[in-house]
Structure 1
């Protein structure tokens, strides 16, 4: 039996259904991220686990206990909100101790627990400060300490880093993950930031329109997307339209490449997708495909240089390492872009074309399992 079980949860607001039959099993100590665009239902699902929303159907169990009908304060849940929600009239120590006081923990034990929590988050000397005297990163650490001080069974994090600047976000996500591992708390993290999800999670639940698109470890989600939505939402993709030829070939901008077009027939138009890191300006035995195009932009991103190349009406992004001894090609330069046939994701033939009905249940090349019919 899993530690946290979400079974058949649906949620409707009037005629609008925002969650459709959500099923998930989370193991004890696991860090699971709900990832998806705004409005996909991820925060609603988190609030149902916390008890702040009531499911229209389905059940939530924690450590074998059905908590579906319990109030939030009876579930032993810790929650960190996007806006921190620290009490402005309380010191840091009082904020951290608040949940302990509500739970009836004796004063001496509260004081010891607060000291332990502040040491744990690396802020042992700020107990007497007020929230307005803290930076955003410090406030977020205090909110985290307040959530874990009562020793919750499950920790819920609702986009806790979105209000911080980029450098602090990167630092804090490492600290949060290290702290979660140290304490072994079962954690659900909500974000729309794919980099956060990929770098922090044991598993990722990708959501769209109130449904689970795919559940898997970061490696699987990024490299083996199961649906067109996951392929396009997680990571960066360049898209090319091509005409299917015979013998596993596709014609793009008058040039033939090797690509498995699956159920698409010769003469049909397919959409192919390639990740920037799969492309190279250098030929190799593995990268047997080559497309000739023109550089339209060059962006320096520190250790990586991102090139944009045009092939007829379509463009691809190409990521290369920054080599001071080898400047990248400039705007307007003619280049040959090389890639492996195995790196090509075929997203299927154009909708409504010949044979569309028979292709709906087919497995697109480059994707390990069938694309959902609604995608």
Structure 2
């Protein structure tokens, strides 16, 4: 059952429509990420849920209550911004206590709640410090504790990790997910970072041009993209251009391969999407498809070696685990790539015609 519903919400600024008939239902305790490039409308959706923007049309419902026109202070929303937005003249304790004081909570209750929140984020020993005396990661933890202190119904996170370095981002996103699961709070997380969304979300909404291109689990979004945009935006992808040959066969630069669920009539242009990890230099019974090409470039990425292989107008990327005992092929070398018929996905394919 939906705890938070965004029903056909649109938002326009003058003649510019930034969100178009956006629909989303979120279960209680679910962690949902809005993922997309800059300007896709994800932050505007978040701001409408928070009450900082009013939808031009549509409705927002939280726990059965229509909050579309309610001001932010009446929505029981906790929000963490990209900029930490901490009060520089207040201690960590007072920053976390701020919302509780505004709500008129008793002093003893405030003390107990702030202590609980600082313990939750592991910063109880820094209660008397000021923001300028703390690292960026510590400041963002304080901002999270301040958002959670009033016990909101929904937690909104607007790219809270983008100002941090890579190592801290990784550890902090894991902490955020752990705290969210511990509290069971319904959460919307806005990011343009695919790895962040894939690693911590229950579901992901991939946005483009103010619309939801696809909604699904990280597994579904990565392995079964619904549109060409999702396929190209999520992860690294190779696109093979060819023609359908009938009987589930596809012609790629004069080489024939089998493709699962290929519906195009013979001669129809076909685009097959393949992830680098689906390809192998080693043949096997499962990898029935074989394509030959020439190594164009080899990149050493630590535990993974990425090879770029050219086949006429097509280029395929292949990822192989680094092995000191087996150096990768050299540039200019001809290689055979192997993959299973079900490892690729046909993009922009016409719907199957139902039998009469």
Please name the residue that 1:247 is paired with: 247
Give yes or no for contact 2:228–2:348 (8 Å, CA) kept in 1: no
8 Å CA contact retained: 2:97, 2:149: yes
Superposed displacement of residue 181, structure 1:
0.4
Aligned length in residues:
353
Structure 1 counterpart SS, 2:84: coil
Instruction: Give me the whole-angstrom Cα distance separating, in 2, the residues matched to 1:67 and 1:95.
Output: 27
Change (3 A) 1:51 1:348: closer
State the secondary structure of the residue aligned to 1:117: helix
TM-score, length-normalised on structure 1? 0.90
- The answer to whether 1:287 aligns with 2:324 is no
Distance between the aligned counterparts of 2:193 and 2:27, measured in 1? 23
**SS, match of residue 125 in structure 2:** coil
Cα distance in 1, alignment partners of residues 150 and 90 from structure 2: 18
Alignment of 1:280-319 (within 5 A): 280-319=280-319
In structure 2, runs of 5+ residues without a counterpart are none
Partner of 1:90: 90
Query: Within 5 Å, which residues of 2 pair with 1:260-271?
Result: 262-271=262-271
- What is the Cα-based RMSD across aligned positions, in Å? 1.7
Kept after mapping to 2: 8 A contact 1:261/1:348: no
CA distance 1:247–1:5, change in 2 (3 Å): closer
In 1, distance between residues paired with 2:9 and 2:248? 43
Unaligned runs of 5+ in 1: 350-358, 365-375
Distance 2:21 2:302 in 1: 43
Residue 363 of structure 1: CA displacement?
A: 5.5
The 1:306–1:287 alpha-carbon spacing in structure 2 relative to 1, beyond 3 Å, is: same
Task: Check the 8 A contact 2:279/2:337 in 1, yes or no.
Answer: yes
- The aligned runs of 1:217-256 (5 Å cut-off) are 217-256=217-256
2:274 is equivalent to residue 274 of structure 1 = yes
Query: Is the 8 Å Cα contact of residues 202 and 218 (structure 2) preserved in structure 1?
Result: yes
Superposition deviation, residue 82 in structure 1: 0.6
Is structure 2 residue 210 aligned with structure 1 residue 210? yes
* Deviation per residue, 1:293-341 (Å, 9 max, x gap): 1112222222222111111122111111122222222222221110111
Q: Deviations over 1:15-66 (max 9, x none)?
A: 1211111121111111111111111111101000000000011111111111
Distance of 2:112 and 2:246 partners within structure 1: 73
Q: Structure 1 stretch 261-270 or stretch 95-104: which is displaced more?
A: 261-270
The 1:117–1:260 alpha-carbon spacing in structure 2 relative to 1, beyond 3 Å, is closer
Contact (CA 8 Å) 1:262, 1:363: kept in 2 or not? Answer: no
**What's the TM-score, normalizing by structure 2?**
0.95
**Match of residue 126 from structure 1:** 126
Q: Cα distance, 1:245 vs. partner?
A: 2.7
Question: How far did 1:127 drift?
Answer: 1.2
Q: CA deviation at 1:224?
A: 1.7
Distance 2:40 2:332 in 1: 40
Secondary structure class of the residue paired with 2:143? helix
How far apart are the structure 2 equivalents of 1:260 and 1:113?
56
After TM superposition, the structure 1 stretch with the greater mean CA deviation from structure 2, 239-248 or 151-160, is: 239-248
Deviations 1:154-206 (A, max 9, x none): 00000111111111111111100000000111100011111111111111111
- CA deviations 1:71-120 (Å, max 9, x no partner) are 10111100000111111111111111111111111122212221211111
Q: Which of 136-145 and 326-335 deviates more?
A: 326-335
Query: Equivalents in 2 of 1:76, 1:189: separation in Å?
Result: 17
The farther-off stretch of 85-94 and 153-162 is 85-94
Shift of 1:251: 2.2
Question: 1:253-297 CA distances to partner (integer Å, 9 max, x unpaired)?
Answer: 222222358453333432221111100000011111111111122
